[in-house]
Chains A and B, each alone.
Chain A
Amino acid sequence: MTKVTLNVNGETRTASVPPEMTLLRLLREEFGLTGAKLGCDVGDCGACTVIVDGKTVNSCLMLAPQADGRDVLTVEGLATMERLHPIQKAFEEKGSLQCGFCGPGVIMSAKALLDENPDPSVLEIRDALAGNLCRCTGYSKMIEAIQDVARGDNRQPVGESA
């Protein structure tokens, strides 16, 4: 067993896990954070996307011990009890998700994009979502929602950014 200590959504969490355990299983099974989804488990579908030190990763491809000492942000870290994150709000208003299984991964990809590039072009948005497969929506309303957030239609008041 390997002891891993990481910062998850702003909280220090520790677990003792087998060295081959993936970050996805650590999040879901040890920490009860089931927002990141287990889809293909081989890095094709992107349903397990989380943000590690500011970059998106397929958490099914990262070992839990590799996340030791790092900052992990999952979809559970976006909303507060009071309000949804602006990306989530925009997705809700645009009807961007249908079955929703890809949603947590897509939203994390969008978050990482907007953190790095607050005013992305449509092509840059498409490029950022290319690792997240969606069978329902054709991606159109996701792209529109991300554009809305970039334009500031769904920005949170200053000082409350997640």
Chain B
Amino acid sequence: MKRRGRGIACMWYPIGFTVAANPSAAVVKINEDGTATLLTGTVETGQGSLTILAQIVAEELGIATDDVHVVSADTDTTPMDTGAIASRTTYVTGNAARLAAEKAKGILFEVAAPLLQVKADQLEVCDRKIQVKGFPQRHIDIGDVADRARGVNGQPPIGSATFNPATVALDPETGQGKPFATYVYATQIAEVDVDDETGEVEVLRIVASHDCGTPINPMLVEGQVEGGISMGVGFALEEEILFDASGRQVNSNLTNYIMPTSLDMPEVVVEIVDSYDPTGPFGAKGVGEPTCVSTAAAILNAIHDAVGVRVTSLPATAEKVYAGIKAKRAQEAKQITAG
């Protein structure tokens, strides 16, 4: 019969490694029509990084996300990036983009200050305008200021910046130091049915709570968590590279290397735990890789809760789970006989 179980697993994950140099650079150019152009070396692979970088620049400049043209991953024009790796883009590249936008904005503030008869530090941006803090009726359009910065002041509003997470080398004696800039945390809970006659595991539901700092784009955060969980389900129950005696992979195809289909995936509930990291762009950290860290552990804990079997090698195939159930029954029968 089917037995229901629940398991929980928690994790932390580092964002912004500092063991080696880990820089990102960005250039932000504010155009005379009030739009902006961002040059970044990072690569979009569908995770939505370029959307998030555009959002960060837009937020810094008080313009709309659609107003930011992103030029990316072109060695002719963009700064080299450490990579769309290590769950670092929002944090490291995002910080570089924000700093570059801040510098370009600083040029506009210097130009706008005498026009509005205030000091530059009394200005702020909002709705495509530069305005006096506390007196939003005193404002000039960003595009007009950008045009004047170039045409009258002779200083086009272009900012470039680099962000490299702060490094504290690890002490060779104690191993102490600061290997990463910041950390994210998550807890996932899995609910499973285990068939105690076949060992087959069905994952019914996964609830995932993830801290990623301030979620700049919650829909994209959800997409990352849902995708990571599907990789975690595969890792827990299905995916295994098999080799023959000579070391040749025997399942190098999707017929025999089994990964989750839409029918294998449980209902996934994503909870974003909103927090604020003062070192991240607008409080953001990262979310990519951390999403699949707890899934397999939660599922295997749920299997244990359902049938009392600890599977210690992945994937927990029906065969392994059933072998565990059989061994447990044999052990229990022995104890009854001995008693």
- A: residues with CB less than 8 A from B are 40, 42, 44-45, 94-95, 97-100, 125-127, 129-143
Q: Which residue of B lies closest to A43 (CB)?
A: B255
Min CB distance, A120 to chain B, in Å? Answer: 12
B73 at the interface (CB under 8 A from A): no
Contact assessment for A138 and B263 in the assembled complex, using a CB-CB cutoff below 8 Å? no
If A44-B255, A138-B230, A141-B223 touch, whether A127 touches B263 (CB-CB below 8 Å) is yes
B78 at the interface (CB under 8 A from A): no
A-B contact pairs, 20 of them (CB 8 A): A40-B253, A44-B254, A95-B219, A98-B48, A98-B223, A98-B227, A99-B46, A125-B262, A126-B263, A126-B265, A127-B263, A129-B261, A130-B263, A131-B261, A133-B259, A135-B230, A135-B231, A138-B230, A140-B222, A140-B226
Contact assessment for A139 and B262 in the assembled complex, using a CB-CB cutoff below 8 Å? yes
Majority SS of interface residues in chain A?
Answer: loop
| Chain B residues, CB < 8 A from A42 | 253-255
B184 at the interface (CB under 8 A from A): no
B209 at the interface (CB under 8 A from A): no
What 1/0 flags go to B160-184 for Cβ under 8 Å of A? 0000000000000000000000000
Min CB distance, A144 to chain B, in Å? Answer: 10
Contact assessment for A135 and B259 in the assembled complex, using a CB-CB cutoff below 8 Å? yes
B207 at the interface (CB under 8 A from A): no
Min CB distance, A127 to chain B, in Å? Answer: 7
| Chain B residues, CB < 8 A from A45 | 254
Contact assessment for B254 and A137 in the assembled complex, using a CB-CB cutoff below 8 Å? no
Q: Which residue of B lies closest to A136 (CB)?
A: B227
Q: Among the interface residues A99, A135, A139, A143, which one has the most CB atoms of the partner chain B within 10 A?
A: A139
Contact assessment for B226 and A141 in the assembled complex, using a CB-CB cutoff below 8 Å? yes
Majority SS of interface residues in chain B?
Answer: loop
B47 at the interface (CB under 8 A from A): yes
The CA-CA distance from A127 to B263 in the complex, in Å, is: 6
| Chain A residues, CB < 8 A from B47 | 98
| Chain B residues, CB < 8 A from A135 | 227, 230-231, 259
B229 at the interface (CB under 8 A from A): yes
Contact assessment for A130 and B259 in the assembled complex, using a CB-CB cutoff below 8 Å? no
| Chain A residues, CB < 8 A from B254 | 40, 42, 44-45, 133
Q: Which of B253-294 contact A (CB under 8 A)?
A: 253-255, 259-263, 265, 268
Q: Which residue of A lies closest to B291 (CB)?
A: A138
The CA-CA distance from A129 to B262 in the complex, in Å, is: 6
Q: Among the interface residues A129, A132, A135, which one has the most CB atoms of the partner chain B within 10 A?
A: A135
B120 at the interface (CB under 8 A from A): no
Contact assessment for B226 and A138 in the assembled complex, using a CB-CB cutoff below 8 Å? yes
What 1/0 flags go to B214-227 for Cβ under 8 Å of A? 00000110110011
- A94, A98, A138: the one contacting B229 at CB < 8 Å is A138
| Chain A residues, CB < 8 A from B223 | 95, 98, 136-137, 141
Min CB distance, B143 to chain A, in Å? Answer: 29
Q: Which residue of B lies closest to A99 (CB)?
A: B46
B312 at the interface (CB under 8 A from A): no
The CA-CA distance from A134 to B265 in the complex, in Å, is: 11
If A40-B254, A44-B253, A99-B45 touch, whether A132 touches B222 (CB-CB below 8 Å) is no
The CA-CA distance from A97 to B220 in the complex, in Å, is: 10
If A95-B220, A133-B259 touch, whether A139 touches B265 (CB-CB below 8 Å) is yes
| Chain B residues, CB < 8 A from A137 | 223, 226-227, 230
The CA-CA distance from A133 to B223 in the complex, in Å, is: 16
- B220, B222, B262, B268: the one contacting A130 at CB < 8 Å is B262
The CA-CA distance from A130 to B47 in the complex, in Å, is: 23
Q: Which residue of A lies closest to B270 (CB)?
A: A140
| Chain B residues, CB < 8 A from A40 | 253-254
Q: Which of B200-215 contact A (CB under 8 A)?
A: none
Contact assessment for B255 and A138 in the assembled complex, using a CB-CB cutoff below 8 Å? no
Contact assessment for B268 and A138 in the assembled complex, using a CB-CB cutoff below 8 Å? yes
| Chain A residues, CB < 8 A from B229 | 138
The CA-CA distance from A8 to B1 in the complex, in Å, is: 50
Given contacts A40-B253, A126-B263, 9 further A-B contacts (CB under 8 A): A42-B254, A44-B254, A44-B255, A94-B219, A95-B223, A126-B262, A136-B227, A139-B262, A140-B226
Q: Which residue of B lies closest to A45 (CB)?
A: B254
The CA-CA distance from A142 to B261 in the complex, in Å, is: 12
The CA-CA distance from A60 to B31 in the complex, in Å, is: 48
What 1/0 flags go to B226-242 for Cβ under 8 Å of A? 11111100000000000
Contact assessment for A138 and B259 in the assembled complex, using a CB-CB cutoff below 8 Å? no
The CA-CA distance from A45 to B219 in the complex, in Å, is: 26
